[in-house]
Structure 1
Amino acid sequence: MLGSKLSAVFVRSVKEPGKYHDKSGTGLFLRVDKSGAKFWIQRITIHGKRRELGLGSFPLVTLAEARDKAFDHKRSVYNGGDPLADKQAKKGTITFSDAVDKYLAAKEKEFRNDKHKKQWRSTLESYAVPVLGKMDVKSIRLPDVLRVLEPIWEEKTETASRLRGRIESVLSWATVAGYREGENPAQWKGNLSEILPKPSKVAKTGNQPAIALTDIPSWWDALNQRQGMAASALQFLSLTLARSGEVRGATWDEVDLKAKDGPVWVIPATRMKAGKDHRVPLPEAAVKLLKSLPTMENSPYVFFASKGGQMSDMSLSAVMRRMHQAETEKGKTGWLDPRSKRPAVPHGLRSSFRDWAAERGYERDLAEISLAHKVGSEVERAYRRSDMLQRRRAVLHAWSQFLMGKEISGDVVPLRSPTNSH
């Protein structure tokens, strides 16, 4: 049906994603997204420049109505008019952040459930909104989209790939709604595909780039010389081995420095990958760091962004990139993964810890629970009542000493003997 005259029956039944052109001589075509959503687009030359006008979505706008609109625009251009300028003048402007809200509201019924909708919003707000949020959608170009995707494309390929599609959908909506024109800068084929490596290729690179254990103390010393909230958050991540999102979302009511069993940070199940509360024993260095932090009125976050909200994931990655760049500018190799030779990333610190724990003889379950990984079968987890809090406290103390280059043999917790218990 591609390239032939459309029919009302075809428009109603087509589900295959793609562009379906209507041979009415107006440049009208139907675009079907992967989600199944259908939009009318008109490609037309205005004052010598090829433009794309959104004519609405199907079934709100029927084939007959779309053709009428397309003919009206064609007639307007013939008479010297500019239907795109007229449309934008009526619509005004809209920021990317507002476009996200309007898009999600329009697509509310298409989400599988409320959780799916929240995942969409969370991904956009965590990565795209900090960069694009205040921009007028019509001014967003390819370099802007790259500023969002490049920092996480190799670190979090699956997330980045989903994010790209979601940005594309929001900008597609904005085009159809008349807020922007032209090609979609978040489109993959023939656009980002020429700049970014294929997700399938990147995903095969294995573990996140980690710092060599021999470089950890010097890296930590370099980090301590960095100023700012993002650097503090990266320090806290290093000391607690939590994931970036868990650290960035940390709130003061989750922290108890006077707990009976020692200072602890309790991350609620809603923010944990495993969907279960996780207690993090805070080593002395982490407590000292927390006590040194400023607070912002009306902001619940321990590590807050400039206006009190949650900082973006790119903030922590940026600190590590700048640290690596500073080293290379001195003629040094920087902080490279000893296996892949790629610059280390925040998440790689968890891999560094895992190597360190294995080399020092810590039992597997103790190390895995320290990383909030699921251990054993569902039956085994059901019968395990202890989360090894105090034993993990000793491990994180030893790890913090190692970070600071103060590790001594006495800090190592020996392997559990057969007579010991959790």
Structure 2
Amino acid sequence: MFYLTAGEFLGEARMAERRAEKVLTAAFLANDLAPGKYHDGGNIGLFLRVEANGKRFWVQRLTIKGKRTEIGLGSFPLVKLADARARAVENKRITALGGDPLEAKRKSKDALTFSKAMDLYLAKKEAEFRNEKHKAQWRSTLQTYAVPVLGKMAVAAIETKHILKVLEPIWTDKTVTATRLRQRIESVLGWATVAGHRTGDNPARWGGNLAELLPKPGKVADKGNHPALALADVARWWKALAQREGMAARALQFAAMTAARSGEVRGMVWDEVDLAAKLWVIPAERMKSGKEHRVPLTKEAVALLEALPRMDGSPYVFFAPKGGQLSDMTISAVMRRMQESEEAAGNPGYLDPRNKRPAVPHGLRSTFRDWAAEKGFERDMAEMALAHNVGSAVERAYRRSDMLERRRAMMEAWRTFLTDGAAPQSIVTFIR
């Protein structure tokens, strides 16, 4: 006859208790579950996390070498209850022996960088985008602001402090952009978690995380227009800009001459330009309106473009040092440094006459619009130059002309106003 010792008996009893404590069943998991955590029984630390959007994934809470850690075990129902328990038991066994079940996982997953995760996520997400423009905006926002900081980092290593490094520089100045950027980073890292490439909470999550570290968007978002350059300061500002070196300064000059948006200028490629015809045609997918936009170029704008260097392998007219697009921050930095130089000299600088805030690149479009109104140019023609929709949907449907040649004369007058008092050669100097 086989007898159990007291210790063995107690051990068996405890195992029986743990088995009885298991609360999760396949039938239970088939129900619609409210968001929250649903713990499995026993001491293996297994639970099912249900998100507000209905997504479910397995998590195990362990103490590894004295540090409390959460390990992702995959999403449900891809990973079934029995499989999740088996993985959890194996992790518990490794931990009990002094090992680290995350070590091998980290080694295999560290190769997945944020840039690669972004590409993989967007490849799967493409079908959900309404149009090419929306798709391009997603990638452009991440590429411009997130990739310089997070791009080469392993997704498993990204923490809240890294997200703050991305968001803080633009949180108050470009709150809408920053808010969308945060959401997009959260989506990429959320995919990486469910795909098993990282564990733990999402560091880009707002509630209970970044909300405690950043001002609420509604409290800091700019409720008014972008600070514009005063008409009285235009010639002085242009002359100072012409003395600035670098590709970003040239891009800012070109944006001012054409009254184009920064993103349209930064994304400009040589295939869009006809120097002989003095014409820049921006395709519909790059326009906010979703319609092709023709921009007449003055001879000074053409001279600027002709003086630009070109980089082999890069299609961009105003390229970054590595051949990609210039970032929005790079162009904004030119105006910011110009303002700082003025203030260092004891001058007020280039302030919006209404709100007394330093002018920003996008505000140059407002400066152009004010100038056009002051000079008596037709409203519709000025609005077309800014690529704004003019008239009702019916009117737009019947309108055939975009007033290109008339706008060409208007932009020539605007160029004269811009460069008044600046040396003619200033447009094409300091390209290097």
TM-score if structure 1 supplies the norm length?
A: 0.83
Matched, 1:20 2:43: no
Structure 2 contact 296–407 (Cα < 8 Å) conserved: yes
Structure 1 contact 87–178 (Cα < 8 Å) conserved: no
After TM superposition, give the deviation of residue 7 of structure 1 in Å.
5.2
Count of residues in correspondence between the two structures: 399
My pick for the range that moved more, 74-83 or 154-163, is 154-163
Matched, 1:242 2:260: yes
My pick for the range that moved more, 95-104 or 114-123, is 114-123
Deviations 1:200-241 (A, max 9, x none): 334451222222333333322232222221221111111111
Note the residue ranges of structure 2 that are not aligned, 5 or more in a row.
Answer: 1-21, 423-432
C-alpha change, 1:61 and 1:320, in structure 2 (3 Å) is farther
Structure 1 contact 40–58 (Cα < 8 Å) conserved: yes
After TM superposition, give the deviation of residue 8 of structure 1 in Å.
4.2
C-alpha change, 1:265 and 1:104, in structure 2 (3 Å) is closer
Give the match for residue 205 of structure 2.
187
Structure 1 contact 209–337 (Cα < 8 Å) conserved: yes
Give the match for residue 255 of structure 1.
273
Structure 1 contact 42–54 (Cα < 8 Å) conserved: yes
Deviations 1:260-295 (A, max 9, x none): xxx111111121111211110112321121111001
Structure 2 contact 339–349 (Cα < 8 Å) conserved: yes
3-state SS in 1 of match to 2:394: helix
Structure 1 contact 28–41 (Cα < 8 Å) conserved: yes
C-alpha change, 1:252 and 1:221, in structure 2 (3 Å) is same
My pick for the range that moved more, 168-177 or 295-304, is 168-177
Which of 353, 360, 368 is equivalent to 2:368?
A: 353
C-alpha change, 1:107 and 1:384, in structure 2 (3 Å) is closer
3-state SS in 1 of match to 2:104: helix
For residues 222 and 417 of structure 2, the distance between their equivalents in structure 1, rounded to whole angstroms, comes to 31
Give the match for residue 328 of structure 2.
313
Matched, 1:273 2:288: yes
Matched, 1:131 2:143: no
3-state SS in 2 of match to 1:197: coil
For residues 329 and 26 of structure 1, the distance between their equivalents in structure 2, rounded to whole angstroms, comes to 63
Structure 1 contact 209–345 (Cα < 8 Å) conserved: yes
For residues 270 and 26 of structure 2, the distance between their equivalents in structure 1, rounded to whole angstroms, comes to 58
Mark the structure with the bigger radius of gyration: 2
Structure 1 contact 94–136 (Cα < 8 Å) conserved: yes
Structure 1 contact 267–278 (Cα < 8 Å) conserved: yes
Q: Residue type matched to 1:185 in 2?
A: P
Give the match for residue 94 of structure 2.
76
Q: How does 1:11-50 map to 2 (within 5 A)?
A: 11-12=29-30, 14=32, 18-24=35-41, 25-33=43-51, 36-50=54-68
After TM superposition, give the deviation of residue 154 of structure 1 in Å.
4.3
C-alpha change, 1:322 and 1:287, in structure 2 (3 Å) is same
Matched, 1:100 2:118: yes
Deviations 1:306-325 (A, max 9, x none): 22222222222232333333
C-alpha change, 1:34 and 1:361, in structure 2 (3 Å) is farther
Which of 98, 103, 106 is equivalent to 1:85?
A: 103
Structure 2 contact 114–153 (Cα < 8 Å) conserved: yes
Structure 2 contact 173–221 (Cα < 8 Å) conserved: no
Give the match for residue 385 of structure 1.
400
Give the match for residue 353 of structure 2.
338
Matched, 1:164 2:179: no
TM-score if structure 2 supplies the norm length?
A: 0.82
After TM superposition, give the deviation of residue 192 of structure 1 in Å.
2.4
C-alpha change, 1:21 and 1:122, in structure 2 (3 Å) is farther
After TM superposition, give the deviation of residue 258 of structure 1 in Å.
1.4
Give the match for residue 427 of structure 2.
none
Which of 307, 310, 318 is equivalent to 1:295?
A: 310
Deviations 1:323-362 (A, max 9, x none): 3333344444444433344443221211222222223322
Q: Residue type matched to 1:269 in 2?
A: A
C-alpha change, 1:193 and 1:255, in structure 2 (3 Å) is same
For residues 178 and 294 of structure 1, the distance between their equivalents in structure 2, rounded to whole angstroms, comes to 45
Matched, 1:219 2:237: yes
After TM superposition, give the deviation of residue 14 of structure 1 in Å.
4.4
Structure 1 contact 172–184 (Cα < 8 Å) conserved: yes
After TM superposition, give the deviation of residue 113 of structure 1 in Å.
5.8
Q: Residue type matched to 2:396 in 1?
A: R
For residues 407 and 59 of structure 2, the distance between their equivalents in structure 1, rounded to whole angstroms, comes to 59
Give the match for residue 297 of structure 2.
282
After TM superposition, give the deviation of residue 177 of structure 1 in Å.
4.4
